[in-house]
Chain A
Amino acid sequence: MLQPARSVRSRWILSLLVATSVSLLTLDFRGFGPLQTVQNGARGVAEPVVGAVVSATRPVRNAWSGIADYDRVSRENSELREELAELRAQDVSRDNAEHQLDEILAQQGIETASSIERVLSRVVAGPVANLDNTLRIDKGSDDGLRPDMAVVAGAGLVGRISSVTADRAVVELVDSRNFNIGVRLVGATAQTTYLARGQGPGRPLVLEGEVDPVPGLVDGGQLVTSGLDRSVFPPDIPVGRISGTGIAPGSPPPVTLPGTGEPRPLEEVQVSLLVDPRQLSFVTVLLWQPGD
């Protein structure tokens, strides 16, 4: 049992440490400049070292991933081979159509995602804690990156820049809980826009609220960023495909409201991401901010 004096001293030490931690939290919340400067400085010093260690240990981590994720990777490989074969058949006509569209829009002075200046970055680290859902990339403010810039990979949206140092940036992933994106349904006859919300790592997004089953809102329907006024993302970045509606392309909605025969609004419409943000080696940052 502790002596009384030692017990008092022990509680005093604990109180001091807890008070210091709470003070740091308070200062961080208030955006205390010197504290953020110190934190950024410490990150700036440490992250190149971290990057070097990441590069040196990549074979070890890849070997571990190969062992731990073998079944999933093997299954995914087969699915991707089939999908690639289908896509190759559509490549030529799609590229031609995109090129013509970009030319037309550029002539009209309308900006598209493909016309935005971009920076290619290597992913140097995935989530650095078990309760973290971010990536670290090897570009920073010296390369033009700023907070809230969109991050994409070949197939679609990955996330947005959450913090930046001179030569590193942290990307918040699109499937983070409460990550909100304004999206638009591709090919819909009306200009239908929704709010897609993240539900947590590895889980599909969900369209906010009840969704009217308009034509095109079917399983497999594609969603892109809406780019509406004050949106943090530029327009037309692919986001994902609709899933879980139970409505196949060309089929009517399965459930109608009694009496009226009108289709019942859909709930919990899920959006499967086009990109698995945790399997990326390279990403592209769009140097675009709202108001640009």
Chain B
Amino acid sequence: MDAVNARAIALVARLVAVLIPLAIVQIAVVSQIRLFGAAPDLLLALALSVGVVGGPDRGGRVGFAAGLAYDVFLTTPLGLSALVYTLAAYSVGLFQLPLTTHPRWWKVGSVAIATVAAVLLWSAAGLMIGQDQLLGMALGRIALVEGLANATIALPMLRIAAWLYTPRIPERAIV
């Protein structure tokens, strides 16, 4: 049990050490660098990458933490990004084929397609809770561009996700 607790603490420490700098870099730098009106979303890319390499449970947990970290800085209701990132990262984990390894193009494609779906889901959820300002935005274009942008950063995010969750250790041993 001590070994399990130690691994859990180490995992949480790695997660905090990754999420906080990523959130700051996303807010301060990446969100200000746009192409065709959209920028990559590091936090969403990380959550989806964890879903791809670590499965739905891990993806859901990291999606929740990443979404909540982003929500702190947004003017939209707290919990919206947490909800959407949780569902997106969990879902992308569910849809991975039961193979021991995935080809690289499959992983990158999963992150890109899940990003597009997450942006559209975020918009739909936002509209449902009264965020009417979303109607004035080019949602389709933003979703597509963000999907392509996240595809370009998917490989390093997948490496970080793999580092967070060492695949050889069964998930049951890791909280």
Contacts and interface: CB of A to CB of B under 8 A. Distances in A.
Contacts, number: 156
Given A46-B72, A131-B122, A176-B136, A25 B32 contact: no
Interface in B20-39: 23-29, 31-35, 37-39
A78 to B, nearest CB: 23
A170 B73 CA distance: 10
Interface stretch (B4-12, B57-65, B101-109, B159-167): B57-65
A212 B27 CA distance: 45
Contacts of B25: 53
Contacts of B80: 21, 25
A131 B137 contact: yes
Interface stretch (A12-20, A86-94, A226-234, A249-257): A12-20
A68 interface: yes
Interface string B113-157: 000000100110010010011111111001000100000000000
B129 A25 contact: yes
Interface residues of A, number: 55
A18 B86 contact: yes
A127 interface: yes
B79 A128 contact: no
Contacts of B64: 17, 20-21
A28 B133 contact: no
Interface in A259-277: none
Contact of B32 (A35, A125, A175, A200): A125
Contact of A50 (B27, B71, B123): B27
Nearest to B31: A128
A29 B76 CA distance: 10
A108 B102 CA distance: 77
Task: Kindly name the residue among B27, B61, B80, B122 whose own CB sees the greatest number of chain A CB atoms within 10 A.
Answer: B27
A14 B90 contact: yes
A177 B123 CA distance: 14
A175 B27 CA distance: 21
A46 B24 contact: yes
- The range of chain B's interface size is 35 or more
B169 to A, nearest CB: 16
Interface stretch (A54-62, A149-157, A213-221): A54-62
B83 A18 contact: yes
Given A54-B28, A125-B27, A130 B129 contact: no
B87 interface: yes
Contacts of A203: 136
Interface string A182-212: 0000000000000000111101000000000
Contacts of B137: 131, 133, 177, 200-201
B61 A13 contact: yes
B148 to A, nearest CB: 12
Q: Which 3 A-B pairs have the closest CB atoms?
A: A200-B136, A24-B79, A177-B136
Given A177-B133, A203-B136, 11 more contacts: A14-B56, A17-B82, A17-B86, A21-B67, A27-B79, A61-B32, A125-B27, A128-B27, A132-B31, A177-B134, A200-B137
